[in-house]
């Protein structure tokens, strides 16, 4: 009798295992898969612009730090080593722009004993190449330091490539992401005029202060 009960129980167990599972027991249904994919697409749609803006913000902070550091270093080295130091704009990372050029795609910091704004591999202290600014940023200088500035030792007058006037400015200007070329003549006119931008205001002795300005850069 006991053997028969065991056999009946085993038979019922085998039959129970053959019962087909419902859709919910098998896993995600088609609707659930579509909803999941839709949520993933929405997250990607909103996350991409946020990541892009964060990337540009970090790039701006990096450039602000580098230019501030180079201006401080220029004045410090000129005083400590008793040698003139120049900081000039560049379009290729190893030559200064012309004295009339107020748009910089990068910059070079170098020893410049004769103030001729002609850096060499032996005199360059630090450089920031154009690919570290483009396509989101450019630098603009005022006419009195257009092209660059030569900082003399001690409290001697700094000398600009343009004209020696007080309170020259270098501005870090945001640009439209549509910028595709690296030449000043091809820079877009759709840059973000109303963004807050950073300015370095440099006096005749090479000392500077930073300022946040709002409006046309």
Residue 181: how many CB atoms within 10 A of its CB?
A: 11
**pTM for the complete prediction?**
0.69
* Residues contacting 29, CB < 8 A, separation 6+: 23
DSSP code per residue over 143-179: GGGTTEEEEPSTTPPPEESS---SSEEEEEEE--TT-
Q: Of 109, 171, 100, which Cα lies nearest the Cα of 139?
A: 171
CA distance 95 to 88: 9
Return the structure tokens found at 143.
């006419």
User: How far, in whole angstroms, is CA 43 from its chain's centroid?
Assistant: 25
Output the CATH code of domain 52-214.
Answer: 3.55.40
CA distance 112 to 24: 77
Core vs surface per residue 15-24: b (16+ CB within 10 A) or e: eeeeeeeeee
pLDDT 10s digit of each residue in the chain, 217 long? 545 544 544 545 555 445 454 544 455 677 777 777 777 766 766 666 776 788 888 999 999 999 999 999 999 999 999 999 999 999 999 999 998 899 999 999 999 999 899 999 999 999 999 999 989 999 999 888 888 999 988 766 566 665 555 678 999 999 875 544 444 444 444 344 447 889 999 988 888 999 998 888 8
Instruction: Delimit the domains of the chain by residue range.
Output: 52-214
Residue 107, CA atoms < 13 Å, CB-side half-sphere: 28
| Contact present, 83 and 114 (Cβ < 8 Å) | no
* Residues contacting 208, CB < 8 A, separation 6+: 71, 200, 201, 202
């Amino acid at each position: 009798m006991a053997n028969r009960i065991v056999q009946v129980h085993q038979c019922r167990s085998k039959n129970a295992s053959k019962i087909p599972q419902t859709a919910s027991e098998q896993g995600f249904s088609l609707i659930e898969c579509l909803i999941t994919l839709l949520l993933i697409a929405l997250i990607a749609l909103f996350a991409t612009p946020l990541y892009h803006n964060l990337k540009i913000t970090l790039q701006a902070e990096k450039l602000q730090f580098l230019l501030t550091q180079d201006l401080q270093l220029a004045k410090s080295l000129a005083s400590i080593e008793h040698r003139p130091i120049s900081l000039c704009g560049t379009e290729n990372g190893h030559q200064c722009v012309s004295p009339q050029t107020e748009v910089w795609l990068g910059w070079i910091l170098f020893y410049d004993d004769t103030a001729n704004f002609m850096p060499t591999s032996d005199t360059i202290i630090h450089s920031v190449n154009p690919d570290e600014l483009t396509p989101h940023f450019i630098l603009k200088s005022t006419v009195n330091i257009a092209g660059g500035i030569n900082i003399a030792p001690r409290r001697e007058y700094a000398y600009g490539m343009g004209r020696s006037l007080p309170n020259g400015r270098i501005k870090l200007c945001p640009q439209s992401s549509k910028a595709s070329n690296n030449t000043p003549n091809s820079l877009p006119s759709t840059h973000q005029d109303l963004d807050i931008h950073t300015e370095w205001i440099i006096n005749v002795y090479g000392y500077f202060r930073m300022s946040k300005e709002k409006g046309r850069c």
